């Protein structure tokens, strides 16, 4: 049986991964178009090639971990296989690749979210959720103790954000890293984090955009607003957003039409279909004229 689900990719948050698993094989996609199909290596192999210093609590390690080998890719309905590791049974791998490829080709996206367990950095003032650090699909993942609680923004090299102030004569760090600093300050000198079982995601006071958006200082508020607005094309992949918030994020996302074009297949809901369709048309026209 093939298990299909989605989970948020952290840390930092870069989107929602679509995952199809069956035994030793799995397929992963961040946009619903390009799929990486991977096969689990025998323990004696990945223990030898394992990367030292990798955070055992990170979603990246658990999902894109080094105990899997890439055996195929799929894009636009076309499958391309790779050479199989000598330690694996080529016929078995080939049969599993075909089964999971057929499954994802016939599936409807996006898959339902499965990462109900959430690890939140807490606000030092009242220990309420401040910023999402990790998520887990299985309850046993809550037994993993991540390192020092520290929230990370997407790197400025991958997510360029215009600063709220005009150009300065001196160096000013990118919005991404300035937001990291103020989040760390709000978490306090001895930051705390806690696992939550979000069986009912509508219960509790949890930031809908995965980070608190209420800041007392206007400059801090401007940094947070700009970061969330720039992240909008990816945040739209999150399930369970209220209609009004989704509408706001869609409007912000339209400043980045190529990202809407890339990720729209993974949007679980659409508040303004005409708006997003227009954005995708703009993306195609710009590409054609470039």
**3-state DSSP call for residue 154?**
coil
| End-of-domain residue from the set 46, 78, 106 | 106
pLDDT the model gives residue 201 = 76
pTM above the 0.85 mark?
Answer: yes
Residue 220 domain-assigned? no
Regarding predicted confidence, which is higher, 83 or 165? 83
pLDDT tens-digit readout, 16-48: 999 999 999 999 999 999 999 998 887 766 555
> What average pLDDT does the chain have?
88
Indicate the pLDDT class of residue 282, thresholds 50, 70 and 90. Answer: very high
pLDDT tens by residue, 206-261: 999 999 999 999 999 999 999 999 999 999 999 999 999 999 999 999 999 999 99
Same domain? 83 vs 155? no
User: Which of 106, 129, 148 is where one domain is finished?
Assistant: 106
Residue, of 45 and 198, whose pLDDT is higher = 198
Identify whether residues 68 and 29 lie together within a single domain: yes
Looking at residue 78, its pLDDT comes to: 93
pLDDT digits (tens, 9 = 90+) for 122-153: 999 999 999 999 999 988 888 877 777 999 99
Q: Do both 183 and 263 map to the same domain?
A: no
240 in the same domain as 198: no
Q: What pLDDT sits at residue 146?
A: 72
Is the pLDDT at 275 greater than 50, yes or no?
Answer: yes
Which comes out higher in pLDDT, residue 199 or 20? 20
Last residue of a domain, one of 63, 83, 106: 106
Together in a domain, 97 and 7: yes
Q: Are 266 and 192 in contact (CB under 8 A)?
A: no
Q: Domain check: are 66 and 133 in the same one?
A: no
Q: Report yes or no on 273 lying in a domain.
A: yes
Same domain (yes/no): 97, 140: no
150-156 long-range Cβ contacts below 8 angstroms, 24+ apart: 150/121, 150/184, 150/191, 151/11, 151/12, 151/121, 151/180, 151/183, 151/184, 151/187, 151/211, 152/11, 152/12, 152/180, 153/12, 153/177, 153/179, 153/180, 153/227, 154/12, 154/13, 154/14, 154/231, 155/12
12 and 99 share one domain: yes
Mean pLDDT, range 105-127, rounded to an integer: 95
Q: What is the pLDDT of residues 48-76, one digit of tens each?
A: 544 433 333 334 334 444 578 889 999 98
* 226 domain residue, yes or no: no
Is there a domain that residue 218 lies in? no
Query: Is 219 inside any structural domain?
Result: no
pLDDT of residue 46: 57
Please tell me whether residues 237 and 264 are part of one structural domain: yes
- For residue 274, tell me if it sits in a domain: yes
Task: For residue 77, tell me if it sits in a domain.
Answer: yes
Residues in Cβ contact with 67 at an 8 Å cutoff, skipping those fewer than 6 apart:
40, 41, 43, 46, 50
Question: Of residues 166 and 55, which shows the higher confidence score?
Answer: 166
Strand partners, 37: 27, 72
pLDDT of residue 48: 54
Q: Looking at residue 290, what is its pLDDT?
A: 79
Same domain, 37 and 101: yes
- Reported as a single tens digit per residue, the pLDDT across 76-100 is 889 999 988 787 889 999 999 999 9
pLDDT score at 202:
77
Q: Are residues 121 and 102 in the same domain?
A: no
Are 199 and 242 in a shared domain? Answer: no
Output the CA torsion sign for 278, 281, 285, 290: positive
Q: What is the predicted pLDDT for the residue at 127?
A: 94
Domain of residue 48: give its range. Answer: 3-106
What total number of domains does the chain contain? 3
Residue 253 forms part of a structural domain: yes
Decide which of 290 and 94 is more confident.
94
């Amino acid at each position: 049986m093939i298990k299909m689900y989605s989970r948020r990719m952290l840390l930092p948050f870069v989107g929602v991964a679509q995952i199809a698993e069956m035994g030793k094989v799995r397929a992963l996609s961040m946009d619903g178009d390009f799929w990486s199909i991977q096969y689990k290596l025998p323990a004696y192999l990945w223990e030898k090639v394992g990367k030292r210093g990798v955070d055992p609590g990170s979603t990246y390690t658990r999902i894109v971990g080094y105990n899997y080998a890439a055996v195929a890719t799929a894009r636009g309905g076309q499958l391309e296989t790779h050479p199989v590791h000598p330690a694996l049974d080529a016929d078995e791998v080939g049969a599993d690749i075909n089964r999971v490829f057929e499954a994802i080709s016939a599936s409807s996206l996006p898959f339902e979210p499965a990462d109900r367990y959430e690890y939140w950095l807490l606000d030092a003032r009242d220990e309420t959720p401040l910023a999402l650090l990790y998520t887990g699909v299985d309850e046993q993942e809550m037994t993993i103790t991540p390192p020092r609680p520290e929230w990370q923004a997407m790197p400025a090299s991958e997510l360029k954000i215009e600063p709220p102030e005009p150009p300065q004569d001196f160096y000013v760090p990118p919005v991404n890293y300035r937001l990291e600093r103020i989040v760390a300050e709000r978490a306090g000198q001895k930051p705390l984090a806690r696992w939550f079982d979000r069986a009912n995601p509508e219960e509790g006071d949890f930031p809908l955009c995965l980070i608190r958006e209420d800041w007392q200082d206007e400059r801090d508020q401007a940094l947070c607003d700009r970061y969330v607005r720039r992240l909008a094309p990816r945040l739209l992949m999150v399930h369970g957003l209220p209609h009004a918030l989704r509408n706001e994020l869609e409007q912000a996302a339209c400043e980045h039409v190529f990202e809407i074009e890339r990720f729209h297949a993974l949007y679980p809901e659409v508040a303004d279909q005409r708006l997003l369709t227009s954005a995708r048309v703009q993306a195609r026209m710009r590409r054609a004229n470039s």
